[in-house]
Amino acid sequence: MSAQAQRLKVLCAGVVCLILMLGVARFSYTPLLPLMQKQAGLGVAAAGWLAAINYCGYLSGALWASLINDLVLKDRLYRIGLIVSVTSTAMMGLSDNIVLWAVSRFIAGLSTAAGMLLGTGLILNWLIRHDHRSELGIHFSGCGLGIAGCALAVAIMTPTFDWQEQWYIFTAIGALLAIPAWRWLPPPDTTPMTNSGRSMHDNPPSKRFLTLFMASYFCAGIGFVVSATFIVAIVDHLPAMAGKGNWVFLVLGLAASPSCIIWDFIARRTGDVNALILASAAQIVGILLPALGGGLAGAMLGAVLFGCTFVGMVSLVLTMAGRYYPTRPAKMMGKMTVSYGVAQIIGPAITGWLGGRNGSYDKGLYFAAAVMVVGTLLLWSLKAVEKRDLVLQPQ
């Protein structure tokens, strides 16, 4: 097999892994949420808490990932995560018991961390080791494909199957996806050299840079989680928009699928931090549009802007982390994701509380957009820190 064919096979393993561990295990909950509220009696506030519990699992997995340096152990945990993602999906259809749902969402969060951090770190390590460009645009297209695929599946299944049957169908889909995600990712190479004989050295950022970076990523986490978790329910509650939420979620996923590749090209021309600032500003507009009126067209445009930016930001941040730590990319990825993960616990809880008080989730969009403005300003200040660190670097 040629080097390029092997590269595509490894990247496809990552794409399929994210469709399963982020799409099926995590985001099938979003398009199924209105159906579970209607058929299973899931309340507005309880829905927010289940989302928060999911992110608690994700945060726990991120903390664990940030502490692990052994590539072989990371590979083993990644493969366990594939099994857990299928198991957690099956658990959602077993009962309407809120405790069982909470356990399912927590372990689904753990499996998502295994895919997003351990899987991504293993793939980035493989790319660097085999002297390929250290970009993750193709890999992260799995996020958008997972979201779009889940939205389309629910739209197709809902006229025929109830909420429980749909969870079981997602379980079967997940079991099939786990096969290539397992088989196409090679075992890790633990030598400290690339295939061409070049040494792999870590080049960590300054403490000030990392602090600001983590704070801005926290804000991005708030912006992401509110829209990504509640967009279907938000759109369905808007005047004359009942039943349109799944289609908006589908458009969001389709927009996200190629976005990481596009942001890789933008970052090459503008630099990583400038690309993040552009993505953050566009995402603020995307978050606000569904709440500002404009009907279906406004909601669709908001979904396109949001979809084009949120996965791109994750891809850029985790790629930067891998460049700082090529020998152990999951180390900084884990730290960044802890910041993102804390936001993903706080965001749904606050949005669920606001929804419980007001009967809808739209106030959560204003909250998310305000936090994203702060994050954009932090990214802007990061440019000055980056310039200062370059000057202070030993020549």
- The tens digit of pLDDT for each residue in 351-377 reads 777 777 766 667 788 889 999 999 999
In order of 146, 221, 328, the CA distances from 215 in angstroms are 27, 10, 22
- The amino acid occupying position 74 is K
Domains of the chain, by residue range, sit at 10-186+203-392
Of residues 338 and 1, more confidently modeled: 338
CB atoms within 10 A of CB 327: 16
**pLDDT above 60: residue 212:** yes
pLDDT digits (tens, 9 = 90+) for 228-272: 777 777 777 766 666 677 788 778 888 888 888 899 889 989 999
**Across residues 108-127, what is the average pLDDT?**
90
Nearest to 232 by CA among 10, 3, 51: 51
- The amino acid occupying position 247 is W
d(CA 166, CA 145): 18
**Which of these CATH numbers, 1.20.1250.20, 3.20.20.80, 1.10.287.130, 3.40.50.720, describes 10-186+203-392?**
1.20.1250.20
**pLDDT above 70: residue 192:** no
pLDDT value at residue 319: 83
**Across residues 189-198, what is the average pLDDT?**
68
**Which of the 8 DSSP states describes residue 290?**
G
Long-range contacts from 94-103, C-beta under 8 angstroms, 24+ separation: 96/40, 96/41, 96/42, 98/46, 98/50, 101/50, 102/49, 102/50, 102/53
Three-state DSSP at 193 gives strand
What whole-number percentage of the chain has pLDDT above 70? 92
- Give the position of tokens 């404009």: 294
pLDDT value at residue 372: 94
Phi, psi of 361 (to 5 degrees): -100, 0
Of residues 120 and 194, more confidently modeled: 120
In order of 294, 344, 371, the CA distances from 109 in angstroms are 34, 11, 23
> pTM surpassing 0.85?
no
Phi, psi of 136 (to 5 degrees): -120, 20
pLDDT value at residue 395: 44
- Convert 142-162 to b/e letters by CB count within 10 Å (16 or more is b): bbbbbbbbbbbbbbebbeeee
Answer for the pair 236, 242: CB distance below 8 angstroms, yes or no.
Answer: yes
pLDDT digits (tens, 9 = 90+) for 120-161: 889 988 888 888 877 788 888 888 888 888 888 998 999 999
d(CA 184, CA 19): 15
**Across residues 310-319, what is the average pLDDT?**
86
**Across residues 186-201, what is the average pLDDT?**
72
At 262, list the tokens: 């596009």
Please give the radius of gyration of the chain, using alpha carbons only, rounded to the nearest integer: 20
pLDDT value at residue 383: 87
pLDDT digits (tens, 9 = 90+) for 284-304: 998 888 777 667 777 888 888
Nearest to 27 by CA among 225, 168, 201: 225
Give the chain's mean pLDDT.
85
Which stretch of DSSP H or E encloses residue 376? helix 362-392
Answer for the pair 98, 111: CB distance below 8 angstroms, yes or no.
Answer: no
Query: How far is CA 345 from its chain centroid?
Result: 14
